[in-house]
Amino acid sequence: MSWFNKLHNRKTPPGLERVIFRKLPMLTLGGTLIPFFVAMGTRLWPPAGTSAEIAKHITTVDITAIATVITVWTALFTVAIGCVLVMVMKGPAYVADAYSMEKPDKPERESDRS
């Protein structure tokens, strides 16, 4: 017994969701490495000031970098879920088993409702 019956091999051609889905790995890499390099650059070239001010600045940059990476990953994961859903929805159409209608598909008249 076949669980799914395809409807006339109908399939919608791929669109923008495939283009976006293919760019996600590079966007993830860029969204991860850019904050990392900013945090490393702060350590290599610290700002002028006392040691307490420098430590506070580095900690602030680290927290900002971590928050940025988490935000980028969350956004890209959400976009990936959307792309996968659109790809699944554009896939082949499936139908359930046929069933007979009890009434014809006609709109009711005002006199039939009462």
What is the length of the chain? 114
pLDDT, one tens digit per residue, over 5-23 is 777 666 678 889 999 999 9
| Cα 99 from Cα 105, distance rounded (Å) | 14
Does the pLDDT value for residue 103 go beyond 80?
no
CB 69 within 8 A of CB 88: no
Q: Are strands 94-95 and 5-6 parallel, antiparallel or unpaired?
A: antiparallel
Q: pTM for the full model?
A: 0.72
| Cα 39 from Cα 66, distance rounded (Å) | 9
105: number of Cβ within 10 Å:
5
| Of 54 and 97, the one with more pLDDT | 54
Overall average pLDDT of the 72-88 stretch? 96
Structural domain boundaries in the chain: 5-113
pLDDT, one tens digit per residue, over 27-50 is 999 999 999 999 999 999 999 999
